[in-house]
């Protein structure tokens, strides 16, 4: 009995459902989430902290909007587009929403192909994701240009409450920065996957460590989070 315990390999506790699993994980020795790659756990921790940042932005938007005496601009009209003779409300924002959701879908499939170690479809889907992400940022740049031409500034705008500009530029700007950084990392990862770094065990340039297709899932978490944040921005800032 004593010998068998020394020779047996460390067994990962199986995925126990429910609160018992929580207790088992937190009372485990060495590390908490056994079997979860540390990079993935750290990405989740980062995403939680990032959630707080975006929440604070949205909560400050709520506070500003609820406490202003001057009526808030009607987002439906401000972000509307003229198509021919029609005034379509929120058209550009709707297209941006669909583009970001599409990129999230392609990313989810890239993660799937990554875990199946199918290098080529994984790389192609990451490239498509990056393409849609870049398209999103491009449309956001168009939107910013349009509003700046119409006289929207962080301190004033012709539509209503002056705080509208600062909230708009801060929230969409911060989100757009996240998308841009995501596109850069998508391109880097697409190159790695395409070259087969995860199959040959080639060491990374910065970390000089071998990586795995888990890296694709971690990148996927970040990308889905960007989409997730947009869901909340779309609901609260554009539709409300």
Partner 1 sequence: MTGDKKQEVHTHKIGVYLWIWGLLFVFSFFSYMVDYINYQGLLRWSLIIFFMLVKAGLIMAIFMHLYWERWAIVNVLLWPMTAIGVFIAIMVSESYYTFFTRMFYFVVGS
As measured in angstroms, the least distance from the Cβ of 141 to partner 1 is 22
Does 161 sit near partner 1 (CB under 8 A)?
Answer: no
Candidates 16-24, 129-137, 144-152, 167-175; binding stretch for partner 1 (CB under 8 A): 16-24
> Based on CB atoms, which residue is closest to partner 1, 148 or 235?
235
Q: Is 87 in the site for partner 1 (CB under 8 A)?
A: no
Sorted by sequence, the CB contacts under 8 Å of residue 84 that are 6+ apart come out as none
Query: How crowded is residue 1: how many other Cβ atoms within 10 Å of its Cβ?
Result: 4
- Residue 53 near partner 1 by CB under 8 A: no
CA 126, distance to chain mean position in Å, is: 14
Contacts of 107 (CB under 8 A, 6+ apart): 125, 126, 129, 219, 220, 223, 224
The answer to whether 220 contacts partner 1 (rule: CB under 8 A) is yes
Determine how many CB atoms are found less than 10 A away from the CB of residue 219: 24
Compute the distance between CA of residue 207 and CA of residue 205 in angstroms, rounded to an integer: 6
Pull the structure tokens for residue 91: 């058209």
Q: Does 42 interact with partner 1 (rule: CB under 8 A)?
A: no
Q: Coil, helix or strand for 81? A: strand
Nearest distance from C-beta of residue 91 to partner 1, angstroms: 9
Q: Which span (90-98, 147-155, 165-173, 189-197) binds partner 1, by CB under 8 A? A: 90-98
- Bridge partners of 237? none
Residue numbers at the binding site for partner 1 (CB under 8 A) = 9-12, 14-19, 21-22, 24-26, 32-33, 35-37, 41, 44, 47-48, 51-52, 55-56, 59-60, 62-64, 66-69, 76, 89-90, 94, 97-98, 101-102, 104-105, 107-109, 112, 115-116, 217, 220-221, 224-225, 227-228, 231-232, 234-236, 238-240
């Amino acid at each position: 009995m004593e010998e068998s315990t020394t020779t047996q390999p460390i067994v990962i506790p199986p995925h126990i459902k429910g609160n018992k699993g929580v207790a088992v994980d937190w009372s485990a020795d060495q590390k908490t989430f056994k079997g979860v790659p540390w990079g993935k756990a750290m990405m989740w921790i980062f995403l939680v902290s990032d959630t707080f940042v975006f929440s604070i932005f949205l909560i400050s938007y709520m506070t500003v909007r609820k406490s202003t005496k001057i009526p808030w601009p009607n987002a439906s009209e401000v972000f509307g587009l003229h198509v021919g003779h029609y005034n379509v409300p929120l058209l550009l924002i709707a297209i941006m929403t669909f583009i970001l959701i599409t990129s999230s879908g392609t990313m989810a499939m890239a993660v799937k192909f990554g875990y199946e170690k199918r290098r080529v479809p994984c790389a192609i889907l990451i490239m498509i994701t990056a393409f849609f992400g870049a398209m999103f940022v491009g449309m956001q740049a168009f939107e910013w240009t349009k509003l700046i031409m119409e006289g929207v500034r962080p301190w004033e705008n012709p539509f209503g409450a002056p705080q509208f500009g600062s909230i708009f530029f801060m929230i969409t700007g911060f989100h757009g920065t996240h998308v841009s950084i995501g596109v850069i990392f998508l391109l880097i990862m697409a190159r790695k996957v395409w070259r087969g770094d995860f199959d040959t065990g080639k060491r990374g340039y910065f970390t000089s460590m071998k990586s795995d297709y888990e890296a694709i899932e971690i990148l996927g978490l970040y990308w889905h989070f960007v989409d997730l944040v947009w869901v909340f921005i779309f609901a609260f800032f554009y539709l409300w």
